[in-house]
C-alpha cells in the first residue's frame, strides 16, 4: 500500500513535469530558486503529491528499518546540527563552489577553513549520508542541491572573516559570532546556524525542565547559565540579536511555497487605516505589507532597545524603507507588548503579530492579547501569523475554519502526513528550548484567543505550509 502511494504520486509529478517540459531537480543539481525546475516543485499539484510520497516513503522506512536501529538513529540525530555548524562556520559550501565542480579534497577545504581535516571529513560524511553534500571520491566532497543552499553567494574568505571570532574564548557556551555576517543575506544560513547553535544547545535542557516541573528558568537559561531573559541576552549580545532577527526572513525563505498563500486581502482595510505590527522585529514583514498595501499606515512596535539597535538602523540603511519612514507611512515605536498600548495611537484597524505567540507560554500570550483587546475598537482585527500544528489524527470538523488546508490523506498515512510535516514539530520544541514557548493546534489557538476576548473568524493556509494567518475579531 505504501509503495503504491509512492508510485502513484511520483507518476503525477512525472506527468506534470512532462506536460511542462521541465525536469524535476535532482539531488545532484545546484539549488537555484529562480530556475524552472525549482518552480516546478512549487506547482500546487506537485507539492501535494510530493507531500504524500514523502509521507509514504518515511513510513515505509520506519516499517522496514530494524526497530532498534530506527530508535538508535533518532536518539543520535542531535549530532547532525554539530556537523552542520562545523561546515557552516567553515564556509564549506562557498569553498566547494569556488573549487573543482567534481569535488575538493577535504585536506584543502580544511586548510582554507583553518580547522583539522579529520573531524571535518567525518562531519561532511555524516551530512553526505543525509544527502547534504556528496562524496564524489574518497575524501573528496562537492556541493549538491541541499548543500548549495548553504552557500551565501559571498567569497569563502569573506564568510570566514565575518565568521565567529576564534581568537576569543567561548564563555558559558555563547559563541562569538559577528552580526555583519548575516546582514544583506536571505536569512537562511542565519536560521540554520541559530538552530544548530543556541536552539540545539538549549534543547538538551528541555527534558530537565519538563521532568522537574520547574519552568522558572527556560531550557535556554539553563544551558547558558543565565538569569536574564533571552530578550535581555539578545540586547547584550547584538550579534545574536542581529542573527535571530535576520533568521526570521530565513524562516519564511525555507518555505518558498508560502508565495502561493493568497492570505488576508489587505483591500478589506479602508484607505488610511492603521496596522500595528506588534513585536515587529526588524520589520521585514511590515515592509512586505507596505508594498502590497500602499493604502495602509503601519506602526512597527518592538522593545525600545531592539528598535534602537536593529529596526531603526535596518530601515535607515535601506533606501525604500527610509522613504517609507520619511513619508510617515511607516513609523517605529519602542513599546513593550505587556504594557498598555499608548493612548494616542489612534484607531487601529489591525493588530498584526508574526512569530510572537509561539515565543511565549499561553498565560503570557493571554496577557499580550488582552492588552491589544483593551486598545481595540469593536471592529479591530487581530491577525496572528504563526504555525498551526496539525493533530496526528484527523482534525475535528468543529476546528475546520474557512480557508484551512485539509489534505485528503489516504490510509495508512498519518493524518498530519508524518515526517512530511516534521519541521512543525521540531520548531515547536525549538520554541520551548528558547522561550518556554510553543506552537499551537487550532484548538489551542481558539482557547487562548477566547481567554483574551477574541474569536477566530478565518484561517488562511496554503498547500504545503503550516505557517498560517489566524484572523480574529473581538467577541
Ligand X SMILES: C[S@@+](CC[C@H](N)C(=O)[O-])C[C@H]1O[C@@H](n2cnc3c(N)ncnc32)[C@H](O)[C@@H]1O
Interface contacts to ligand X, rule CB under 6 A: 231, 248, 279-281, 284-285, 302-303, 306, 336-338, 354-356, 359
3-state SS assignment for residue 390: coil
Q: Which is nearer to ligand X, 148 or 306 (CB)?
A: 306
Q: Which is nearer to ligand X, 303 or 446 (CB)?
A: 303
Q: Which is nearer to ligand X, 25 or 334 (CB)?
A: 334
User: Residue 281 CB, nearest distance to ligand X (Å)?
Assistant: 3
User: Residue 365 CB, nearest distance to ligand X (Å)?
Assistant: 12
Q: Which residue is nearest to ligand X (CB)?
A: 281
Contact 44, 405 (CB under 8 A): no
To 5 degrees, how large is the angle CA 140–CA 141–CA 142? Answer: 135
Rounded to a whole number, what is the largest CA-CA distance in the chain?
A: 67
User: Residue 435 CB, nearest distance to ligand X (Å)?
Assistant: 9
User: Residue 203 CB, nearest distance to ligand X (Å)?
Assistant: 17
User: Residue 245 CB, nearest distance to ligand X (Å)?
Assistant: 6
User: Residue 197 CB, nearest distance to ligand X (Å)?
Assistant: 16
Cell of 387: 504555525
The single-letter DSSP state of residue 174 is: B
Compute the distance between CA of residue 239 and CA of residue 226 in angstroms, rounded to an integer: 17
User: Residue 308 CB, nearest distance to ligand X (Å)?
Assistant: 11
Q: Which is nearer to ligand X, 197 or 359 (CB)?
A: 359
User: Residue 306 CB, nearest distance to ligand X (Å)?
Assistant: 4
Alpha-carbon distances of 323 from 6, 145, 215, 290, 310, rounded to whole Å? 51, 38, 44, 12, 17
Compute the distance between CA of residue 370 and CA of residue 354 in angstroms, rounded to an integer: 17
Phi and psi at 338, nearest 5°, equal -85, -10
Helix-helix angle 362-375:442-451, to 10 degrees:
50
Compute the distance between CA of residue 226 and CA of residue 236 in angstroms, rounded to an integer: 12
Q: Which is nearer to ligand X, 248 or 276 (CB)?
A: 248
Q: Which is nearer to ligand X, 151 or 359 (CB)?
A: 359
Contact 296, 321 (CB under 8 A): no
E strands, 321-363, in order? 330-334, 350-354
Phi and psi at 119, nearest 5°, equal -65, -30
Q: Which is nearer to ligand X, 103 or 280 (CB)?
A: 280
Pairing of strands 140-142, 104-105: antiparallel
Cell of 41: 516543485
Phi and psi at 352, nearest 5°, equal -115, 130
Amino acid at each position: 500500500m505504501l509503495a503504491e502511494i509512492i508510485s502513484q504520486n511520483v507518476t503525477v509529478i512525472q506527468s506534470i513535469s512532462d506536460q511542462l517540459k521541465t525536469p524535476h531537480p535532482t539531488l545532484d543539481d545546484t539549488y537555484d530558486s529562480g530556475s524552472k525546475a525549482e518552480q516546478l516543485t512549487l506547482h500546487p499539484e506537485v507539492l501535494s503529491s510530493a507531500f504524500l510520497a514523502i509521507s509514504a516513503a518515511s513510513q515505509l522506512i520506519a516499517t522496514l528499518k530494524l526497530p532498534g536501529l530506527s530508535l538508535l538513529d533518532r536518539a543520535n540525530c542531535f549530532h547532525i546540527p554539530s556537523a552542520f555548524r562545523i561546515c557552516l562556520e567553515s564556509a564549506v559550501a562557498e569553498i566547494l563552489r569556488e573549487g573543482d565542480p567534481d569535488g575538493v579534497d577535504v585536506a584543502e577545504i580544511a586548510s582554507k577553513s583553518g580547522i583539522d581535516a579529520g573531524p571535518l571529513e567525518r562531519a561532511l560524511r555524516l551530512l553526505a549520508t543525509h544527502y547534504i553534500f556528496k562524496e564524489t571520491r574518497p575524501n573528496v566532497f562537492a556541493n549538491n542541491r541541499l548543500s548549495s543552499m548553504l552557500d551565501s553567494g559571498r567569497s569563502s574568505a569573506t564568510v570566514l572573516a565575518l565568521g565567529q571570532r576564534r581568537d576569543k574564548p567561548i564563555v558559558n557556551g555563547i559563541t562569538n559570532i559577528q552580526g555583519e555576517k548575516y546582514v544583506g543575506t536571505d536569512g537562511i544560513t542565519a536560521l540554520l546556524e541559530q538552530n544548530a547553535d543556541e536552539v540545539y544547545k538549549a534543547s538538551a535542557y528541555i527534558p530537565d525542565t519538563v521532568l522537574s516541573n520547574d519552568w522558572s528558568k527556560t531550557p535556554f537559561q539553563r544551558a547558558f547559565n543565565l538569569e536574564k531573559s533571552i530578550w535581555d541576552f539578545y540586547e547584550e549580545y547584538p550579534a545574536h540579536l542581529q542573527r535571530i532577527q535576520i533568521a526570521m526572513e530565513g524562516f519564511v525563505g525555507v518555505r518558498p511555497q508560502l508565495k502561493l498563500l493568497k492570505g488576508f486581502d489587505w483591500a478589506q482595510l479602508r484607505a488610511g487605516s492603521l496596522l500595528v505590527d506588534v513585536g515587529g522585529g526588524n520589520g521585514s514583514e511590515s515592509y512586505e505589507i507596505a508594498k502590497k498595501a500602499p493604502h495602509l499606515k503601519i506602526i512597527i512596535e518592538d522593545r525600545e532597545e531592539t528598535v534602537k539597535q536593529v529596526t531603526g538602523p535596518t530601515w535607515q540603511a535601506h533606501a525604500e524603507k527610509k522613504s517609507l519612514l520619511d513619508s510617515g507611512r511607516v513609523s517605529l515605536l519602542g513599546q513593550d507588548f505587556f504594557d498598555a498600548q499608548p493612548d494616542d495611537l489612534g484607531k487601529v484597524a489591525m493588530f498584526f503579530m508574526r512569530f510572537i505567540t509561539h515565543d511565549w507560554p499561553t498565560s503570557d500570550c493571554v496577557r499580550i492579547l488582552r492588552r491589544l483587546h483593551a486598545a481595540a475598537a469593536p471592529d479591530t482585527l487581530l491577525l496572528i501569523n504563526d504555525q498551526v500544528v496539525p493533530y496526528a489524527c484527523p482534525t475535528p470538523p468543529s476546528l475546520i475554519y474557512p480557508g484551512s488546508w485539509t489534505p485528503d490523506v489516504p490510509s495508512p498515512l498519518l493524518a498530519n502526513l508524518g515526517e512530511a510535516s516534521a519541521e512543525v514539530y521540531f520548531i515547536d520544541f525549538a520554541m520551548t528550548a528558547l522561550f518556554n514557548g510553543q506552537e499551537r493546534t487550532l484548538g489551542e489557538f481558539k482557547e487562548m484567543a477566547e481567554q483574551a476576548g477574541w474569536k477566530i473568524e478565518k484561517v488562511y493556509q496554503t498547500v504545503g505550509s503550516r505557517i498560517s494567518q489566524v484572523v480574529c475579531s473581538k467577541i
